[in-house]
Structure 1
Amino acid sequence: MHHSHVDGVPVLRSSEPGPLHATLRFGVGARDETYRTRGVTRQVAALAAHETRRRLPATAEPVVYTGVEETRFTVSGTPQEVTDILRTLCRALGEPPTGRPDETAFSCDDEAAVSLHPLAAAALNARYGAQAAGLLGQECTGCLPPTPDMLRTHAATWFTRANAVLTLTGPDPVGLRLPLPPGERPNRSAPKARYPHASWTHRGIEGVAVSLEAPAGSAAVAVAHRIVRERMTAALARRSASAAPAEAATVPHDSDTDVRLLFTPAPAGDTEEVAATVWSEALRLARIEPAQDEVDRHRDGPGSAGAQPCALDMAARTALFGTPCPLEGVTPGDVRDAWQRAMAGAQLVVPEGLLLHLAGPDGRRLWCTSCWTWDELPPWGEAFHEPLVKRAFRRAGERHWTVLTPEAVVTCRTGVHHALRFDDVVALQRWGPERVLIGRCGCDIGIDPAWYRGGRRLVRAVDEAVPAELAFDGAEGGRPPEGRPPHA
């Protein structure tokens, strides 16, 4: 592998015969966005790819991929073609549009979109809420696209030479230039998990998922992850021949931490048993060392062939994120101990309405971290009830009302309530007279003044309590999420 720098960008090249393959990588992805700027990374990438194709119509198209933490542009061709495309692409990234982009610029949006299983995305949302990687599982109905100012700011912050690395496979390109704009090394401050201890919670999913944090690049955790997935699949198959296999995913959280995910779909009437099976298999490895042959079988992992591309990929990730290289010599004890540490903060996610009685890693009852509070009186404040004419046609168990306090909006149903503090609001969508509050926890609360007596006063109070920079209008022609009362 050859190491060099071009215009301040690290370049890693593996010499091979044949055409030249180049991948220009940037350390930015969906986790670096906010609720309001969701999709801005892939739109910047799509615009740059579109502009490159417009300027060089006779050359190969750059293929765009936007992930959770990384955006890549891949190009193949002769050394001269690759050199021309990379130079044009870098200039396009430094010149984002000044007006609202033409919709034809987003023709490669489908290529650039982040692909993550809905169960895995929901588990990330449950762990981090409506921020960082948790945004991948956050419902966003009728959001406006990022503005030109958002596109320019995002490009100037993340698509710079200080946040880029180029990998090459093939002959040495002559006259290579990478005229990216200058910039500072990004300061990536990943949020902590909302609950640091082992727990379970609800999301609107049709299955079961487990998420846990572990050291990035840990070979012991990687082996444990594969072992637990295989064991879960076997345990589910013993229950039912038609059971779906467990799936796994790994999402980088910060330079030192990965989020390990395990998930499987589950029929509505079978979810509780599937959840118990998934959780027990995850716990078993944290308590008992695996057999040596099981460790040996999973040590190399899938896709171990092709060492050179893997070496380039690992070197690029180290250059972008400082990701450590995995260590060799994993023993059964290493696997058990690493998984045991990770399980101390594991989170089990199940469909709404399910109540679980499971033991945690410490043997005590697993803690429920649902945002809703049962069987307790809501905080004291000004109560906004439904109009009497509506209440007359409802059963008592279907009633809902909202309590306004100086610190929060509390949505209430009979026997249960959800308090959303104003300092935990990440966005406020306006839909004419209606409002939708999006909380850091990942929940949203809809407020229609027609639902309540004094509803207009409630809306005015919410508008005054939420900082103006967090408020924006919903997309024209859209509707609030399902036009419904509060959601958990």
Structure 2
Amino acid sequence: MHHSHVDGVPVLRSLRSGPLHAILRFGVGARDETYRTRGVTRLVAAFAAHETRGRLPETGEPVVSIGVDETRFTVSGTPQEVADILRTLCRALGEPPPDRPDERAYRCDDEAAVSLPPLAAGALNARYGAQATGLLGQECAGCRPPTPDMLRTHAATWFTRANAVLTLTGPEPVGLRLPLPPGERPRRSAPEARYPRASWTHRTIEGVAVSVESPAGSAAVAVAHRIVRERMTAALARRSASAAPAEAATVPHDTDTHVRLLFTPATTDDAEEVAATVWSEALRLARIEPAQDEVDRHCRGPESAGAQPCTLDAAARTELFGTPRLVGGVTPGDVRDAWQRAMAGAQLVVPDGLLLDLAGPDGRRLWCRSCWTWDELPPWGEAFHEPLVKRAFRRAGERHWTVLTPDSVVTCRTGVYHALRFDDVVALERRGPERVLIGRCGCDIGIDPAWYRSGRRLIRALDAAVPAELAFEGAEGGRSHEERPPHA
């Protein structure tokens, strides 16, 4: 592998016969967006690719792909074609998008979207809420596309020579230039899991998922991940011949940490049994060492110790993120100990309405975590109730009201409430007179002033309490909270 720099951008090249294959990579992806700027990364990339196609209609075009943490532009062709496309693409990335972009640029990015199974995305949302990788599973209340100012800010922050690396496979192009704008290496702070210890919680998903955090450079936990997946699949098959196999995914969290996920579909009728089976297999490896032959078999996986060559992809990720290579020397005891540490903060995610009674890694009852509080009085504050006429025709269990405190808005139902601190609001959608508050926890609270007496005063108080930069007008066709109680 040959390492050099062009215009301040690291270039990694592997010599191979055939057409030149180039990938221009940027260390930015879906985890670097916010609720309001969702989709901004792929739009910036799509605009640049659109401009490149327009300026070089006779050559190939860059293929855009957006990941959780990385954006790639892939180009193939003769050395001269690749050099021309890369030079034009870099210039396009350094130019601000127009205030009125070509609508075709909005449509050319459909295939560039981040692809993650819904169960995995739901588990990430349960773990981190409406931020970073948790956004991948966040239901959108109806955001408009990011504004041109958002596109410009995002491009200037992330699509710079300080956050790029180019990998080449094939002959070196003559006269290669990468005129990207200057910038500083972006700094990101990954959010902590919402709950620090092992727990279970609900999400609107059609299955069961388990997530754990683990060191990015641990071969032992990588082997454990594959062993648990295989065992889960076997246990589910013993329970039902038609059971779907367990699936696995690994998502980067920060430089030193990965989130490892295991998930499987389940119906409403069998979700409880599936959850018990999945959790039991995850716990078993944390308590009992696997057999040596089982470890040896899974050590031959693509990310195991000694099985990950110094590929262009691995080297590029090291350049972008400082990602450590997997540390080897895996024994059955290492696998159990690594998985045991990971399981101390594991989270089991099940469909809404399910109640579980399972043991945690410490042998005590597994902790249930929810944004809702049951069987306690809501915080004291100004209460906004439904008009007397509506209350008279509702059953007690169907009534709902809102309490406004100096630092939070509290959605109440009979016997349960949800408190959302204004400090934890990540977005406020305005849809006519209605408001939808999106919390960092991943919940959304919809409020229509028509629901309550003095409802307009409640709306004015919410508008005043939430910072103006977090508010936006909802897109046409977005969902409405009309005639249904607030939910989270």
Instruction: Name the TM tier (shorter chain).
Output: over 0.9
- Equivalent positions of 1:334-345 (< 5 A) are 334-345=334-345
Q: Does 1:62 align with 2:62?
A: yes
Partner of 2:189: 189
Cα 1:139/1:264, change in 2 over 3 Å: same
Contact 2:303 2:326 survives alignment (8 Å): no
- Give the Cα–Cα distance (whole angstroms) in 2 for the partners of residues 274 and 100 of structure 1: 50
Once the two structures are superposed, residues 403-438 of structure 1 have per-residue CA deviations (whole angstroms, 9 ceiling, x without a partner) of 111111110111111000111100000001000000
Q: What is residue 392 of structure 2 aligned with on the other side?
A: 392
TM-aligned CA distance change 1:284 to 1:68, over 3 Å: same
- Residues in 2 aligned to 1:117 and 1:292: alpha-carbon distance in whole angstroms: 32
* Residue 374 of structure 1 pairs with residue 395 of structure 2: no
Superposed displacement of residue 477, structure 1: 4.3
- Per-residue CA deviation, residues 362-415 of structure 1 (Å, 9 max, x unaligned), is 111111111011111111111111112212222211111111111111101111
- Is 1:165 matched with 2:165? yes
**CA offsets per residue over residues 195-221 of structure 1, 9 Å max, x none?**
111111111111111111001132111
Match runs of 1:11-410 below 5 Å? 11-302=11-302, 311-410=311-410
Aligned residues of 1:64 and 1:108 also touching (Cα < 8 A):
no
Distance 1:172 1:482 in 2: 61
Please report how far the alpha carbon of residue 484 of structure 1 lies from its aligned counterpart in structure 2 after TM superposition. Answer: 3.7
C-alpha deviations, 1:28-75, integer Å up to 9, x for none?
Answer: 001001111000000000111111111111111111110110000011
- Equivalent pair of 1:63/1:74 in contact (CA under 8 Å): yes
Distance 1:157 1:399, change over 3 A: same
2:303 and 2:416 mapped to 1: Cα distance? 49
Q: In structure 1, what is the equivalent of residue 420 of structure 2?
A: 420
Q: Distance in 2 between matches of 1:300 and 1:44?
A: 39
Take 1:429 and 1:480, find their aligned partners in 2: how far apart are those partners? 11
How much is the aligned-residue C-alpha RMSD, in angstroms? 1.4
Tell me, what secondary structure is at the counterpart of 1:268?
Answer: coil
- 1:98 shift after superposition: 3.0
Letter matched to residue 21 of structure 2? H
Tell me the CA shift for residue 302 of structure 1.
4.9
Q: Using the alignment, how far apart are the partners of 1:229 and 1:479 within structure 2?
A: 37
Give, in angstroms, the shift of residue 303 of structure 1.
Answer: 8.7
Contact 2:222 2:303 in 1 (8 A): no
154-163 vs 135-144, which deviates more?
135-144
CA contact (8 A) 1:446 1:483 kept: no
The question of whether the paired residues in 1 share the 8 Å contact of 2:378 and 2:410 is answered with yes
d(CA) in 1 for partners of 2:482, 2:157 = 35
Q: Is the 8 A contact 2:302 2:308 kept in 1?
A: no
Partner residue of 2:464? Answer: 464
Residue 96 (structure 1) shift:
2.6
**TM-score normalised by L of structure 2:** 0.97
Q: Percent identity?
A: 87
After superposition, give the CA deviation of every residue in 1:310-331 in whole Å (9 maximum; x if it has no partner).
6111100000000001122211
Q: Distance in 2 between matches of 1:428 and 1:54?
A: 38
Unmatched 5+ stretches in structure 1: none
- The 8 Å contact of residues 448 and 482 in structure 2, kept in 1 or not, is answered as no
- Contact kept? 2:123, 2:349, Cα under 8 Å: yes
**CA deviation after TM superposition for structure 1 residue 167, in Å:** 0.6
Distance 2:439 2:287 in 1: 36
Q: Distance in 1 between matches of 2:327 and 2:130?
A: 34
- Give the aligned length: 486
The CA distance in 1 between the partners of 2:89 and 2:240, in whole Å, is: 52
Q: Distance in 1 between matches of 2:348 and 2:308?
A: 37
Q: Gaps (5+ residues) in structure 2?
A: none
Match of 1:411 in 2: 411
The one-letter code of the counterpart of 2:415 is G
SS in 2 for 1:37: coil
- CA drift at 1:482: 7.3
**Structure 2: distance between partners of 1:43 and 1:432:** 27
Contact persistence 2:29–2:66 (CA under 8 A): yes
2:30–2:67 contact (8 Å) kept in structure 1: yes
Q: 1:24 and 1:229, CA in 2 relative to 1: closer, same or farther beyond 3 A?
A: same
SS of residue paired to 1:269: coil
